[in-house]
Structure 1
Amino acid sequence: MKEIYTRRSIRKYENKPVTDEQINELLRAAMYAPSAGNEQPWHFVVIRDRAILDEIPKFHPYTQMLYEAPVAIVPCCDTSNLKYDGVFWIQDMSAAIQNILLEAHSMGLGTCWCGVYPREIFMEKVSEMLSLPEHVVPVAVIAVGYPGEEREVRERFRPERVHYNKW
């Protein structure tokens, strides 16, 4: 529970590399997420190329931290073989992303989840930049690195937002 309660979005990073082993652990955590019908629709693009990392903030205004982050992970959904009329994949992808955030925090890394889906312009630019196949949808860009800042942990539990049986 510690990771759940203390994880924060990190927007400043140290100039320190993240290893391939660390990235593999994050992706392993992602792939252990639950998914509807166990369809596991995810693919992940790991970006270390500084030119690509620096290009994304030019069209996605909420990704400025990529100028400092040493790596980014782009979780993508393969829509070519979805079950249940393709209505649950965003939940599957969100669970995988959350697992990345929590595992990174447990490893002493910082992350920031920046949404891409459903903004058409973000999806188009990321897809083009990463040469994604037409049936693959970029869902987010996750900045990953060693935190260059500490963020305050605030109480988020709101009992007034809990309802039993009915509203």
Structure 2
Amino acid sequence: MNLQNQSLLLNIVLAIVVVVLSVRLASNKTTTEKSADAGQSVNAEQAVLDNIATRTSIRDYEARPVEQAKVDKMLRAAMAAPTAMNKQPWHFVVVSQRSVLDALSGANPYAKMLKKAPLAIVVCGDTEKMIEGGGRDFWIQDASAATENLLLAAHAMGLGAVWTGAYPSEERSNSIKKVLSLPDNLIPLNMVVIGYPAEHPQPKDKFKEANISYK
């Protein structure tokens, strides 16, 4: 074989080697990217589940305000909740004035922690947005789902919160309504008391096999 043919053969072999290496590198990169994506997906899933499992009611707060950016995020999370027929029959009253918070603490015997809290969000049902007829009371489920979203968002951002019930207690609901001077179409379902936690109670494990059945 002459020198020219040897050179041509060598170039062909080198070209084949380059192609093979390129394919292997691309395959390894794809595998690595898929592994990274899978890892991120698992981490995101675990973060969500951990946030749900570790949330607990907080009734003692530090003396510092909650940033408006976090209030906005909590409200966005609340309004991302499912709602029957997409009626969204909710209204949220954000309270940060000290005098109003103190007044609200007297409107609900189970909301005394408001005396130390910097923030409360009163979750209301709006009768003008409710389903007409037999489906009217679905507003309670809708507003409750929104409340749970709000609580989970608060916990995810390092805040502490507690759900204090109002409706269907007419006395509590009407007392809150009076303090806030709410119009007739708004019914307070609950008050979520919020702040930076000054206590760190252990969350309760409420999982019970006895509460499950399969068909």
Same fold by TM-score greater than 0.5: yes
Q: Calculate the TM-score normalised by the size of structure 2.
A: 0.75
Distance in 1 (CA, whole Å) between partners of 2:203 and 2:93 is 30
Structure 1 residue aligned with 2:115 = 67
* Alignment map for 1:10-89 (pairs within 5 Å): 10-83=58-131, 85=133, 86-89=136-139
Segment drifting more, 135-144 vs 82-91:
82-91
Larger Rg: 2
Segment drifting more, 84-93 vs 21-30:
84-93
The answer to whether 1:5 aligns with 2:60 is no
Distance in 2 (CA, whole Å) between partners of 1:65 and 1:84 is 37
Distance in 2 (CA, whole Å) between partners of 1:123 and 1:64 is 16
**Residue deviations 1:55-79, cap 9 Å, x none?**
1222311001101110100011111
The answer to whether 1:159 aligns with 2:209 is yes
Distance in 1 (CA, whole Å) between partners of 2:176 and 2:112 is 15
The alignment covers a number of residue pairs equal to 165
Q: What is the root-mean-square deviation in Å for CA atoms of aligned residues?
A: 1.0
SS at match of 1:25: helix
Distance in 1 (CA, whole Å) between partners of 2:132 and 2:155 is 33
* Unaligned ranges ≥5, structure 1: none
**Residue deviations 1:24-54, cap 9 Å, x none?**
1000000000000011011110001111111
CA contact (8 A) 2:74 2:154 kept: yes
Structure 1 residue aligned with 2:166 = 116
- Which amino acid in 2 is paired with 1:46? V
SS at match of 2:128: helix
**Residue deviations 1:111-167, cap 9 Å, x none?**
0100011111111111111111101101111111000000112321100110122xx
% identical equivalent positions = 45
Distance in 1 (CA, whole Å) between partners of 2:87 and 2:138 is 10
* Alignment map for 1:88-167 (pairs within 5 Å): 88-165=138-215
Distance in 1 (CA, whole Å) between partners of 2:211 and 2:91 is 35
After the TM superposition, which segments of 4 or more aligned residues of structure 1 sit over 4 Å from their partners? none
Segment drifting more, 55-64 vs 23-32:
55-64
* Unaligned ranges ≥5, structure 2: 1-48
Segment drifting more, 148-157 vs 25-34:
148-157
- How far is 1:84 from its partner? 5.2
From the two aligned structures, give the one with the greater helix fraction: 2
Structure 1 residue aligned with 2:32 = none
SS at match of 2:124: strand
CA contact (8 A) 2:95 2:121 kept: yes
